[in-house]
């Protein structure tokens, strides 16, 4: 199930990106020979007009094959990529990234209209007490409580705690020898008896069961405010992702990069499954972040990525003459090989993490 969900997420993000290239190329007069999901070998395809739509074996990306991108034989053809003005070439290359940003904006806005979960300061009729962290080896962990579950009740005998982080903490301090915690996990109500322990909280001499808590409320916005706040969320997330990826690249060049927090296809499969267990809204947020990551990564000036092709267009604009197609092909092949090596390294890291 997680694998199917991962492929669906990838399908949406990639098709939106490639559709940006596709429709823009069509609008500026370029001939699009192929619109493909996944990388070859080809499984099947269908032709409509001048474009063949293909589904390929490796579902880890997608592509749009525009006539004349890398072919010397296309020189002089008015519908070839290289025959169109530099601004048109740049517009086609940027269009995929723009569509990924737009997708994230739309998804963030939908979540805000559906109801965005935020940390509340005070208890309301709609607020929920949620466990946000479980310490390894703590009484809560040994009782099988996981992060993300909603606490329905905390009691000891006939007494019950107020369902706020402060109320939970105070009740645990005074009734820690015999706590009964009722919570919801995967739609089912579970009840466990827990005995609190001392010394779990560094620097604090009090009883605790080893959980972090937050009061979560759901806030729904009308469409105009959702679009505005969704735009702000997109801008902030885009900036944070850009800084994070730039830092990772600098550290990689310095041979100091830590890949433990970088997920490849296998890691993302697990993350998709974990996020989807919390509901539709968190899954849509996750897809939005994946889309923004794809946008930023594609702008890195490495051959085979949109950023590398944009760099070629900029160099040609400055030199006022095209780069020889054979060199473009060689550099793109080298860039693609580099990306495959990186993918293998990240996937290997995913496997090690699972083991």
What percentage of the chain has pLDDT greater than the value 90? 23
Do residues 12 and 27 both lie within one domain? yes
- Bigger pLDDT: 81 vs 121: 81
Does residue 133 share a domain with residue 26?
Answer: no
Say if residue 344 is in the same domain as residue 227: yes
User: What is the Cα Rg of the chain in Å?
Assistant: 26
**Domain co-membership, 59 together with 37:** yes
How far, in Å, CA of 140 to CA of 117, rounded? 24
Q: Best-predicted range by mean pLDDT among 13-27, 61-75, 196-210, 319-333?
A: 13-27
Q: What is the DSSP string of 21-40?
A: HHHHHHHTTPPEEEEEEEEE
Q: Give yes or no for residue 32 having a pLDDT over 90.
A: yes
Q: Are residues 144 and 248 in the same domain?
A: no
Nearest-CA neighbor of 268 among 242, 247, 294, 250?
294
Residue that finishes a domain, picked among 197, 219, 241: 219
* Phi and psi torsions of 250, nearest 5°: -60, -45
Q: Which residue has 């990529």 as its token pair?
A: 81
* Residues 142 and 169 placed together within one structural domain of the fold: yes
Distance CA 132, CA 122 (A): 17
Distance of alpha carbon 280 from alpha carbon 355, whole angstroms: 29
242 and 255 fall within a common domain: yes
Going by the DSSP 8-state scheme, the letter that residue 164 receives in this structure is S
Residue range of the domain that includes 298: 2-115+223-354
pLDDT band at 146 (very low <50, low <70, confident <90, very high): confident
Strand partners, 150: 130, 184
Domain final position from 219, 244, 260: 219
DSSP tag of 136: T
- The residue among 219, 236, 270 that closes a domain is 219
User: According to the model, what pLDDT value does residue 194 have?
Assistant: 87
DSSP codes joined into one string, 299-333: TSS-TTSHHHHHHHHHHHHHHTSPPPHHHHHHHHH
Q: 188-194 and 179-185 as β-strands: parallel, antiparallel, unpaired? A: antiparallel
Q: What is the pLDDT of residue 136?
A: 85
Furthest-apart CA atoms within the chain: distance in Å: 86
Structure tokens belonging to residue 242 = 């850009």
45 and 168 co-located in one domain: no
CA 330/CA 48 separation, integer angstroms = 31
Report the C-alpha dihedral over residues 129, 130, 135, 137, rounded to 10 degrees.
Answer: 90
Question: Are 271 and 324 part of one and the same domain?
Answer: yes
- Same domain, residue pair 134 and 281: no
Domain count for the chain, please give it: 2
Per-residue pLDDT at 244: 82
The token pair at 189 is: 């109500």
pLDDT tier, 298 (very low <50, low <70, confident <90, very high otherwise):
confident
What is the distance between the alpha carbons of residues 80 and 99, in angstroms, rounded to a whole number?
23
Claim to verify: residue 192 and residue 334 sit in the same structural domain? no
Choose the weakest-confidence range: 30-39, 50-59, 133-142, 333-342. 333-342
Task: Say how far apart CA 229 and CA 222 lie, in whole Å.
Answer: 10
How far apart, in whole angstroms, are the C-alpha atoms of residue 181 and residue 158? 13
Predicted local confidence at residue 98, as pLDDT: 96
Chain Cα centroid distance, residue 62: 17
* Cα 257 to Cα 342: distance, rounded to the nearest angstrom: 13
Asked whether residue 104 falls in the same domain as residue 160, the answer is no
Model confidence band, residue 12 (pLDDT cutoffs 50, 70, 90): confident
CATH number at residue 143: 2.30.42.10
Helix axes 265-276, 280-298, angle to 10 degrees: 150
**Of 245 and 86, which is predicted with more confidence?**
86
pLDDT at 251 over 80: no
Residues 192 and 181: beta-carbon distance below 8 Å: yes
């Amino acid at each position: 199930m997680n694998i199917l969900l991962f492929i669906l997420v990838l399908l949406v993000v990639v098709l939106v990106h490639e559709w940006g290239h596709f429709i823009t190329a069509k609008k500026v007069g370029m001939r699009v020979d192929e619109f493909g999901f996944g990388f070859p070998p080809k499984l099947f395809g269908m032709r409509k007009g001048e474009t063949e739509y293909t589904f390929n074996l490796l579902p880890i990306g997608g592509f749009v094959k525009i006539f004349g991108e890398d072919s010397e034989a296309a020189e002089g053809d008015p519908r070839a990529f290289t025959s169109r003005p530099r601004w048109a070439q740049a517009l086609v290359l940027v269009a995929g990234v723009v569509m990924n940003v737009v997708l994230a904006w739309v998804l963030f806005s939908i979540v805000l209209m559906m109801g965005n979960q935020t940390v509340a300061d005070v208890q309301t009729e709609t607020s929920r007490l949620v466990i946000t962290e479980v310490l390894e080896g703590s009484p809560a962990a040994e009782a099988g409580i996981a992060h993300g579950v909603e606490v329905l009740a905390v009691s000891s005998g006939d007494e019950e705690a107020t369902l706020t982080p402060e109320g939970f903490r105070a009740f645990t301090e005074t009734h820690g020898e015999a706590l009964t915690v009722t919570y919801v996990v995967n739609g089912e109500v579970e009840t466990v008896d827990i005995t609190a322990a001392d010394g779990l909280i560094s620097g604090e001499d009090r009883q605790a069961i080893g959980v972090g808590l937050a009061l979560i409320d759901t806030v729904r916005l009308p469409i105009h405010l959702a679009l505005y706040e969704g735009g702000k969320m997109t801008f902030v997330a885009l900036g944070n992702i850009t800084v994070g990826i730039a830092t990772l690249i600098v550290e990689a060049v310095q041979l100091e990069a830590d890949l433990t927090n970088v997920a490849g296809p296998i890691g993302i499969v697990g993350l998709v499954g974990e996020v989807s267990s919390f509901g539709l809204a968190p899954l849509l947020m996750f897809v939005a972040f994946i889309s923004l990551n794809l946008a930023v990564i594609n702008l890195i000036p490495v051959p085979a990525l949109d950023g590398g092709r944009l760099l070629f267009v900029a160099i040609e604009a400055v030199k006022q003459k095209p780069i020889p197609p054979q060199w473009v092909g060689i550099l793109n092949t080298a860039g693609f090989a580099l990306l495959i090596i990186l993918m293998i390294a990240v996937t290997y890291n995913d496997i090690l993490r699972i083991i």
